[in-house]
Amino acid sequence: MKKIVIDARFWGIKHTGIGRYVEELIDNLPHDVILIVHPDQEFEPKLKSYKKYYARYHPYSYLSQLEMLWLLLKINPDLLHIPHFTIPVLWPGKLIVTIHDLIKHISKGPATTTRHPFIYWAKYWQYLFIVWFAVHRASHIIVPAQYWKDILIEKYKLNSNTVSVTYEGVSDSLYR
């Protein structure tokens, strides 16, 4: 059986849009996928039937890159799904990435932050690199709308067969 791992560190509504996406994704997948979660999620009832590995560092940190590499070498998955652009750059295995949007490509500059301009621009250039790297490194890319598929293909000169639109819908789980 193939080992599929999902980076679920952003699971749950406290992580807003990506968290909700990850929660719905996991709710609709078989229970034999392996999750990488934050230790805060150890006793989450909805995740109790999944095999889990714990990652302590924030997904956007440098330490997270090393921690994820170590975990992935330990797990040795056949496929890794990263539901946001921050992929583990040192991981050589097969991966799928979800790119929700490229808003930070459009809305940028000192007026969009409270950080010192030097810090802002350093982080912005890192963001641009990691998104570029993610879309070129991934075996496949998932986007939530045709608009973002078209933008990704045009901006990064991607083959359209490597990008799939999976619309994000409304869940009935709120009404149960």
In the chain, where the domains are located: 4-105+134-175
* Three state DSSP letters for 3-34: CEEEECCCCCHHHHHHHHHHHHHHHCCCCCCE
Q: How far is CA 102 from CA 51, 85, 140, 146, in A?
A: 32, 10, 17, 13
What is this structure's pTM?
0.90
pLDDT of res. 171: 66
Question: What pLDDT does residue 174 have?
Answer: 54
Window from 63-72, 98-107, 145-154 with minimum mean pLDDT: 98-107
pLDDT mean over 122-132: 95
160-172 b/e with 16+ CB inside 10 Å = b? Answer: eeebeeeeeeeee
Check if CATH label 1.20.1250.20 holds for domain 4-105+134-175.
Answer: no
Whether 176 has a pLDDT exceeding 60, the answer reads: no
* Mean pLDDT, residues 84-108 taken together: 94
Contact between 146 and 125 (Cβ < 8 Å): no
